[in-house]
Structure formats: structure tokens, C-alpha cells
């Protein structure tokens, strides 16, 4: 019986090795998300909202089109507008029409949004280190390579 089978109390074997891999990745991702969510909760932020703040912090001064913000999210969220609405309501981002193309709405991080994102860098990094600190750098690099291959970013 595999470790995952024990964790999820599954008696019968997985239907395939591929299924076991996918379920392991999903279980691991859920564990990682939980740690990040718990860190962000006192700041009344969700992981996608924090991701948007990080994206906009690294964007050009005039911001990014809202559609591009959505494309850059680590976990795709179909309702970027709703996420931006909540951040804008809190004064963490602003939105405005592009000067070059009035059809495009650009999102920009405010000073308050940048300050919050900067403040969260340490605690979020600590969560990641706690979650993966038991693994050596060589193994982490191997894991990165395997995950990229699994997403089809590189073929064997």
C-alpha cells in the first residue's frame, strides 16, 4: 500500500500509476495552498489576490492590462475582475483606461498594495521553506524538472 493510499484511507490500488501521480500532486498542492492561505488569512487576502499584488508589483509603472494579469496568475482564475474589484476596494490596486488604447483597462499596484506585498514576502517565503526545507537543493531542482515535464513544458 502506498503512502497516499494510507493518507486517504483507500483500500484498493489506484487504477494506474498516472492516477497515483496526479492524486499525489493534487494532495501536495492542497497542502501547500493551505499553508499559504493560513499565512494570508490575518491580512484578509486570498492566494490569487496576493498573486495579483506580486504580478502588479513587478509590472511596468503604467500597469498591465487586466487580461494579462489573468494570464500571469499561477492558478488560473476565471474572474480576475472580481479579484481586482476587491483589491481596488481596499486601495491596494487602481484601474484605468490605457492612454494608447481606450478599450484596454490597465491595473496598477498602489503604494499601500506594494507595502503589503513587501510585508508578506518574508512570511510567505518562510511557509515555503517550512514546507520544503527538509529537501536538499538537488532534489528540489529534480522536482522542478519533473513537474515541468509533467505539465508538458519539456518532452522526454
**What nine digits make up the cell of 30?**
492542497
Q: pTM of the full predicted structure?
A: 0.85
CATH code assigned at 81: 1.10.10.10
pLDDT tens-digit readout, 85-98: 999 999 999 999 87
| DSSP state letter for 82 | H
Per-residue model confidence as pLDDT tens digits over 16-49? 889 889 998 999 999 999 999 999 999 999 999 9
Is residue 92 in some structural domain? yes
Q: Is 98 among the domain residues?
A: yes
Residue 153, domain member (yes or no) = no
CB 36 within 8 A of CB 124: yes
**pLDDT for the residue 40:** 97
- Asked if the structure places residue 95 within a domain, the reply is yes
Q: Are 131 and 32 in contact (CB under 8 A)?
A: yes
d(Cα 97, Cα 87) in Å, to the nearest integer?
17
Higher pLDDT, 120 or 9: 120
Exposure on the CB side of residue 62, measured as CA atoms within 13 A: 8
- Residue 125 is predicted with a pLDDT of 96
Query: Domain total for the chain?
Result: 1
The three grid cell numbers given for residue 112, joined into one nine-digit string: 499601500
Range of the domain at 55: 44-121
Answer yes or no: is pLDDT of 1 > 80.
Answer: no
Amino acid at each position: 500500500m502506498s503512502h497516499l493510499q494510507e493518507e486517504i484511507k483507500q483500500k484498493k490500488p489506484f487504477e494506474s500509476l498516472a492516477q497515483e501521480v496526479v492524486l499525489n500532486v493534487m494532495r501536495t498542492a492542497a497542502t501547500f495552498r493551505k499553508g499559504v492561505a493560513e499565512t494570508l488569512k490575518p491580512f484578509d487576502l486570498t492566494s490569487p489576490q496576493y498573486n495579483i499584488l506580486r504580478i502588479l508589483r513587478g509590472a511596468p509603472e503604467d500597469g498591465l492590462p487586466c487580461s494579462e494579469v489573468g494570464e500571469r496568475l499561477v492558478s488560473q482564475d476565471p474572474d480576475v475582475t472580481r479579484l481586482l474589484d476587491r483589491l481596488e476596494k481596499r486601495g491596494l490596486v487602481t484601474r484605468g483606461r490605457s492612454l494608447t488604447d481606450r478599450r484596454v483597462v490597465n491595473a496598477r499596484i498602489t503604494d499601500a498594495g506594494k507595502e503589503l506585498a513587501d510585508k508578506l514576502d518574508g512570511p510567505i517565503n518562510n511557509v515555503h521553506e517550512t514546507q520544503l526545507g527538509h529537501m536538499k537543493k538537488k532534489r528540489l531542482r529534480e522536482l522542478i524538472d519533473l513537474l515541468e515535464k509533467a505539465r508538458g513544458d519539456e518532452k522526454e
